[in-house]
Chains A and B, each alone.
Chain A
């Protein structure tokens, strides 16, 4: 079975402060990990994926297989980062499993 855990429902940070959204996963094989973001009244959209090791909108995420984690980080939060963030895992048959999401609130 594949499972994704996001322990925080809500994360509030001040503008300019560092952000870390936690994600832990459970999967017996080699997973692909993703972060999706949903801004207010917009569709769910892909933010970044671990295999490309990219930085999107200042966000990065490193896959730690030892800790089975894929935390999302940004050094300086901006107001436009306020959104719902979902960690997701693709395992067998390319099935995508999502966490319950973390709402990031950036306080001006």
Chain B
């Protein structure tokens, strides 16, 4: 499968725990995006990388959220001290320019 890959697909965690998600983009894509999607809503922009540089971070993203793309390839999204409101589908997408973004299957986070 040469598409965008996200792991894990599902994560259940207790409130207060830290979680980390991984995204492997399409190999030749230099742009990588993280989105969050809750029921009945469209994807909400969280952050965006061009190569290893994080160019924009949404105000939705509190200090508990951090994302990295250390070598301009895969990316990780970490949520510290999870809260029940963090429960959502976390989507990763990649693109190489103006051709539109390709999405992964997402990681569904449930905070109990």
Contact = CB atoms under 8 A, between A and B. Distances in A.
Interface residues of B, number: 26
A90 B45 contact: no
Interface residues of A, number: 23
B55 A93 contact: yes
Given A93-B48, A93-B56, A98 B101 contact: no
A96 B103 contact: no
Interface stretch (A14-22, A40-48, A69-77): A40-48
A100 B33 CA distance: 18
A36 B37 CA distance: 14
Contact of B106 (A43, A49, A95, A98): A43
A90 B104 CA distance: 18
B42 A45 contact: no
B56 A99 contact: no
B91 interface: yes
A101 B91 CA distance: 16
Interface of B: 31, 33, 35, 40-45, 48, 50, 55-56, 91, 93, 95, 97-106
